[in-house]
Amino acid sequence: MAEIGASSQTNPFRWLVVAVPYLWLIVFFAAPFLIILKISLSDTAIAMPPYTPTFEGFGALGDFLSQLDFDNYQFLTEDPLYFNAYLSSLRIAAISTLLLLLIGYPMALAMARASSTIRPTLMMMVILPFWTSFLIRVYAWIGILKPEGLLTLLLQTIGLLGPDDQVQIFRTDYAVFIGIVYSYLPFMVLPLYAALEKMDGTLLEAASDLGCPPWKAFWKITFPLSLPGVIAGSMICFIPITGEFVIPDLLGGAETLMIGKTLWTEFFGNRDWPLASAVAILLLLALVVPIVIFQNQQQKAG
C-alpha cells in the first residue's frame, strides 16, 4: 500500500517520526559501537578513564589514525585464555540451545495440542516467569544447588545420598546448564509454540487420511513446518547465551569460562578498558552469523 497520501508528505513534522528514534539509536546504539572499536585499538593507560583518549577533533585525524594499533587484538590471540573462553562460550551456548530444544519442543507441542480453552492459561504460565527478574530466577537455584542446599537435603531424605555426602553441582558447568535452561526456557517455548499453534490441524488429518501414521506425520508434516520457530527460538537463545554473564558468574565455578564473564572481569576487575573493548568486538564478530540468520527470519516472519 502506498502512503497515507502524497499530499500529507508536505507536512515537515512527519519526518520527525523517523528522525527522532533514528537519531536516538544512532547516538546511543551505533555511535557506542564505533567508540568500542576505536578504544579497542588504543593503548591502556592508568589514568581515569583508563584509556588514553585518542581523538581530539578532526584536525588530529592523522595523529589519531597513526595511534591506532592492533596490540590488544594481538594480545588476545597470544593469550590462550581468551581463545578458550570463546570456544567455551560457543560450546556452552550450543549445548544449552540443544537442551532447550529437547525440553522446549515437547512442551510447546503439548501446549499447542492442548484444548483451546486452557491454551491461554498455559501461555500465561510460560510467560509469568519471564516477567519475574532474571536475577531472582538464577538466585533461586543457588539455594537449591549449593552443597548444603535443598537438593542435597532431598536426596539425603529419600536415601539416594549418604548423610555426609553432598551434591557437587554448584559452581560447575552443570549448574550453569541448569540455570541457562531454566532462564531461557520461555524464550525457546514461545516461538516454537507460535509456529506450532498456527499450524492447520487439517494437515495432520489429511496426512492420516492418506495413510500416514501419527509418528511419521509428525516428522513429515509437523516438524518441517515448525522449522521457522525452531530457528527463531534457537537464535533467540543461542545469541544472548553466548554473551551470558550473570548465570556463569553466580552458578558457575572458576573453571567455567565464558566470554561475557571474561569481559566483565577485564573491565571491572583489571580495569583494562581497551582489552575489554577488543573482547567485545570479537564477541560481536562471532555472533554476526547467527544475528544475520535471526534478522532474516524476523523479516520473513514480519
Give the footprint of other proteins on residues 219-248 (CB under 8 A). Answer: 235-236, 239-240, 242-246
**Gap between the terminal Cα atoms of the chain:** 16
17 to 36, contacts with other proteins by CB under 8 A?
17-18, 20-22, 24-33, 35-36
212 binds other proteins (CB under 8 A): no
CA distance 178 to 13: 51
Q: Which of 100, 260, 272, 275 binds other proteins (CB under 8 A)?
A: 260
Q: Is residue 250 near other proteins by the rule CB under 8 A?
A: yes
CB of 17 to other proteins, least distance (A): 5
| Closer to other proteins by Cβ: residue 223 or 264 | 264
Q: How many residues bind other proteins (CB under 8 A)?
A: 102
Q: What is the footprint of other proteins within residues 44-63 (CB under 8 A)?
A: 49, 53
* Residues 134-173 as x/- pattern, contact with other proteins by CB under 8 A: xxxx-xxxxxx-x-xxx-xx--------------------
User: Segment near other proteins (CB under 8 A), from 56-64, 72-80, 100-108, 159-167?
Assistant: 100-108
Helices marked H in the chain: 16-25, 31-40, 61-67, 71-78, 80-113, 119-131, 134-145, 150-157, 173-197, 201-209, 214-217, 223-242, 246-251, 259-264, 273-301
Cα separations in angstroms, 242 against 142, 272, 274, 280? 21, 21, 21, 12
In the window 62-91, what residues touch other proteins (CB under 8 A)? Answer: none
Among candidates 260, 254, 265, 224, which has minimal Cα distance to 239? 260
Question: Whose CA is closest to 43, among 7, 70, 83?
Answer: 70
